[in-house]
């Protein structure tokens, strides 16, 4: 059996038009995961910041999207130096978001609606306001070594940090503490001291916090920054990266060989997985997803080994890190293959195209490509993880320096902040065209609402239901379509039809075959899928067209000459049923093409 799996995997890797087979699926494999950034989703008490009751009010919207699981970005007690990614109490809800009762109420309603809820867990660091850190500064046992403290180096009577390690938010990763007379290490902001996992007490404390939330009945955790958890014990200087144009204070200036992706990180995740599995054995699976940016071969290590599993899956950020406006069909195909190539046989695919740390897909690729990206994300084998607002094609909001609140951007200063700022993708969700997009009744919002809210919002995008001409309606259709067995269990074939046109086909036993065709280019294209796969019928019908495709549902397309406008995309099916319902055949002679 093992041999067959390995052979299958090898044939997949070697062939361009390769096949991947999938068997028996659990909820986290079937459902779409929807990330909520609570500060920006819905404000129920009109203080300009989103909250748990706001999310509660909007659960029916999430249900109507068809997603099956929500992931809440941090809602725990925090001074908000990094907007919740600096936790000062791992067991309390921050009053900005509400109370534990609000949380329980949210979980209850979600459960009634059949929605799973997972939370963010931020284990690499705490807030400097966490009582552990306050006591650690004072060297009060047992907290003395809860964090990574080091003596200064002195040269010519001047004080220097112990080594050259840099913070992800820029500048030295070491901050001097007068009281303790030592430096502490922080991979992120100075307000986020790193925990010392080499201290068994810390290891145990953080495991118990995981248990606390599992006991509360949540369905899983998204584990933050798992590539940063441990550092090499020798504290050697890291080598320079020699990346052009990067200043000595920027994180990219060094290769982070001693502070990222240490083997101990995976062992820690494996320990937590054991805990998750114990809870899963009592009923529904408790799901763990890990966050780490890096090469596929590094990131997939968080799957663990088959005999000692790690995460159910580590996020696959390849669409974020390896795709840009210039990427062609070959690049996209390679990226898709890259994940499956490195994924172990006990692994599972997943596709992330946006989150609260990166420019939105509509901004990164232009909003016309949003439907095509959603088609890929939803219909490739694996779980789709969606960031709130991307379903509308929301774009990044321009944030002036005087409005900037992201610590990473603030650290970069007024000249460079835009390169680093994550504020643009975190602005309030756009519900309707009323003041402040229906996000709040307050005049002031913690980040400004995107000026395009009068046009890009849930209310206006739902109006066009029948014609499928909004990103939101297309998104909803895709979520429904991916529930089809062909997408849940079918094989995968990738075809580069031309430099800019990528085709993906999915089939399963004798079910209809589906094809997703995406034109990444800025020219109109006529592609021949039939030639690449002659077993396909000469005609297929449109199941879902992108808003700019000029196709409607049910249109029939010749598979040997698929015309696509720039940045347009379609999902096609061989299903006879669709032919019967809408026998609206377009051929090259049809008037419809004359507009080109």
Binding-site ranges for ligand NOJ (CB under 6 A): 82, 85, 122, 188, 224-225, 291, 356-357
Helix, strand, or coil (residue 251): helix
**CB of 120: closest distance to ligand NOJ in angstroms?**
8
Q: Considering beta carbons, is residue 387 or 431 the nearer one to ligand NOJ?
A: 387
Q: Give the active site residue among 82, 120, 291, 390.
A: 291
> Which residues partner with 555 through β-bridges?
584
Do β-strands 514-519 and 501-506 pair in parallel, antiparallel, or remain unpaired?
antiparallel
Q: Considering beta carbons, is residue 124 or 550 the nearer one to ligand NOJ?
A: 124
Q: Considering beta carbons, is residue 336 or 412 the nearer one to ligand NOJ?
A: 412
Contact status, residue 198 vs residue 265, Cβ threshold 8 Å: no
Q: Considering beta carbons, is residue 288 or 369 the nearer one to ligand NOJ?
A: 288
Contact status, residue 196 vs residue 202, Cβ threshold 8 Å: yes
Please give the span between the terminal C-alpha atoms of the chain, in angstroms, as a whole number. Answer: 53
**CB of 460: closest distance to ligand NOJ in angstroms?**
30
CB neighbourhood size of 177 (10 A): 17
Residue of closest CB approach to ligand NOJ: 85
Q: Considering beta carbons, is residue 230 or 453 the nearer one to ligand NOJ?
A: 230
In angstroms, the CA 236 to CA 333 distance is 39
Burial of 585 (0-12, 13-18, 19+ CB in 10 A): middle
Q: Considering beta carbons, is residue 72 or 570 the nearer one to ligand NOJ?
A: 72
Q: Considering beta carbons, is residue 85 or 487 the nearer one to ligand NOJ?
A: 85
**CB of 187: closest distance to ligand NOJ in angstroms?**
8
Q: What is the DSSP string of 29-74?
A: HHSPEEEE-GGGT--SSSSSS--HHHHHHTHHHHHHHT--EEEEPP
Q: Establish whether 224 is a catalytic residue.
A: yes
**CB of 556: closest distance to ligand NOJ in angstroms?**
45
Do β-strands 153-155 and 158-160 pair in parallel, antiparallel, or remain unpaired?
antiparallel
**CB of 409: closest distance to ligand NOJ in angstroms?**
11
For residue 581, give both structure tokens: 């319902």
**CB of 284: closest distance to ligand NOJ in angstroms?**
26
Q: Give the active site residue among 31, 43, 224, 238.
A: 224
**Quick one: residue 11, left, alpha or beta (phi over 0 = left, psi -120 to 50 = alpha)?**
alpha
Helix, strand, or coil (residue 374): helix
Q: What is the DSSP string of 96-143?
A: TT--HHHHHHHHHHHHHTT-EEEEEE--SB--TTSHHHHHHHTT-TTG
Q: Considering beta carbons, is residue 298 or 357 the nearer one to ligand NOJ?
A: 357
**CB of 83: closest distance to ligand NOJ in angstroms?**
7
E strand segments, 475-568: 493-498, 501-506, 514-519, 525-527, 539-545, 555-558, 562-564
Contact status, residue 205 vs residue 159, Cβ threshold 8 Å: no
Q: Establish whether 26 is a catalytic residue.
A: no
Cis omega (within 30 of 0) on the bond before 142? Answer: yes
**CB of 188: closest distance to ligand NOJ in angstroms?**
4
Q: Which residues are catalytic?
A: 224, 291
């Amino acid at each position: 059996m093992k041999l067959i799996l390995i052979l299958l995997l090898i044939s997949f890797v070697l062939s361009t038009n390769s096949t991947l087979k999938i068997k028996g699926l659990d909820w986290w494999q079937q459902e779409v995961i929807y990330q909520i950034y609570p500060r920006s989703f819905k404000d129920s008490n009109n203080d300009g910041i989103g909250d748990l009751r706001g999310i509660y009010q909007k659960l029916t919207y999430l249900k109507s999207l068809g997603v099956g699981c929500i992931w809440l970005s941090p809602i725990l007690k925090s001074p908000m130096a990094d907007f919740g990614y600096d936790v000062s109490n791992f067991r309390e809800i921050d009053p900005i978001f509400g109370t534990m009762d609000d949380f329980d109420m949210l979980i209850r309603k979600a459960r009634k609606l059949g929605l799973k809820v997972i939370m963010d867990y931020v284990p690499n660091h705490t807030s400097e306001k966490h009582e552990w850190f306050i006591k650690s500064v004072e060297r009060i046992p047992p907290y003395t070594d809860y964090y990574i403290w080091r003596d200064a180096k002195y040269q010519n009577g001047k004080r220097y940090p112990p080594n050259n390690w840099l913070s992800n938010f820029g500048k030295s990763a070491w901050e001097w503490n007068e009281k303790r007379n030592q430096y502490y290490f922080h991979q992120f902001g100075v307000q986020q001291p790193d925990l010392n996992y080499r201290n068994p007490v810390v290891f145990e404390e953080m495991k118990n916090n995981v248990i606390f939330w599992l006991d509360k009945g949540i369905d899983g955790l998204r584990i933050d920054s798992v590539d940063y958890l441990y550092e090499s014990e020798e504290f050697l200087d890291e080598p320079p990266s020699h990346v052009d144009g990067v200043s000595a204070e920027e994180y990219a200036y060094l290769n982070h060989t001693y502070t990222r992706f240490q083997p101990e990180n995976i062992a820690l995740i494996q320990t937590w997985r054991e805990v998750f599995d114990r809870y899963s054995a009592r009923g529904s699976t408790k799901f763990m997803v890990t966050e780490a940016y890096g090469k596929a071969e590094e990131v997939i290590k968080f799957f663990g080994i088959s005999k000692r599993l790690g995460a159910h899956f580590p996020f696959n950020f390849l669409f974020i890190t390896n795709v840009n406006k210039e990427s062609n069909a070959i690049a996209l195909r390679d990226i898709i293959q890259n994940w499956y190539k490195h994924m172990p046989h006990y692994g599972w695919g997943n596709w992330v195209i946006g989150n609260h740390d990166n420019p939105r897909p509509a901004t990164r690729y232009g909003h016309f490509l949003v439907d095509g990206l959603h088609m890929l994300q939803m219909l490739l084998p694996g779980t789709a993880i969606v960031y709130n607002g991307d379903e509308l094609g929301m774009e990044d909001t321009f944030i002036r320096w005087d409005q900037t609140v992201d610590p990473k951007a603030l650290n970069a200063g007024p000249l460079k902040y835009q390169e680093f700022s994550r504020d643009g993708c975190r602005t309030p969700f756009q519900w309707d065209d009323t003041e402040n997009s229906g996000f709040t009744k307050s005049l002031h919002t913690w980040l400004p609402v995107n000026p395009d809210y009068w046009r890009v919002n849930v209310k206006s995008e739902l109006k066009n239901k029948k014609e499928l001409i909004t990103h939101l309606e297309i998104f909803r259709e895709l979520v429904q379509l991916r529930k089809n067995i062909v997408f849940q269990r079918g094989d995968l074939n990738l075809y580069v039809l031309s430099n800019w046109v990528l085709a993906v086909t999915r089939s399963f036993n004798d079910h209809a075959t589906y094809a997703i065709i995406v034109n990444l280019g800025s020219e109109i294209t006529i592609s021949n899928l039939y030639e690449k796969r002659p077993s396909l019928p000469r005609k297929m019908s449109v199941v879902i067209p992108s808003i700019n495709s000029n196709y409607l549902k049910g249109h029939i397309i010749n598979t040997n000459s698929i015309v696509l406008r720039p940045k347009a995309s379609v999902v096609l099916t061989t299903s006879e049923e669709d032919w019967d319902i809408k026998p609206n055949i377009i051929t090259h002679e049809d008037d419809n093409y004359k507009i080109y």
